[in-house]
Structure 1
Amino acid sequence: MPKKLPHRYQAIVMPLVLSVLMSAIVSFVATASGSGLGPALPSLWLRAWALSWVVAFPSLLLVLPIVRRIVAATVEQAGGTR
């Protein structure tokens, strides 16, 4: 079994993985809808994905603490009263 990163890296790894997956999906949909499903799609998509990820990762690092506070204010926490 591969060794895991220490828990203290969770605050970086979670937005990293989320930004990779979300920017890949959104950039693919946007690129395919703009250019069609032709042979140029893979190269256009990879270029769009790279640019999207460069924006997405730092954005998530900045926005995630705010999102956590909003969610905590609107969603009952585990073990809370009903």
Structure 2
Amino acid sequence: MQTNLNPVSETDLQVRIQRIQGNLQMMQRYFDALFGKDLNPLLEMIDDAIEWLVVPTGNGGQSSYAFGLMRVARGWCRSE
């Protein structure tokens, strides 16, 4: 068994943990927004320079605004 000769310092470990927790929080917000009724939180997370493609149809576009319009047009919004 090989041991790590360069152990991570306490500060480095704390930075990594904070980064992981931040990523988890962002993913939680993403999935909440993805399956929610309100598009604004999802669109706020998407860079306006996005280029996207719907693989089965070959349709695509640019901008978070166009992505939002496509999502609404396709009925991807939750409708409880």
TM-score for both structures, normalised by structure 2: 0.32
Greater RCO structure (CA 8 Å; 6+ sep)? 1
**Which is helix-richer, 1 or 2?**
1
Specify the structure having the higher radius of gyration (Cα): 2
**Which is strand-richer, 1 or 2?**
2
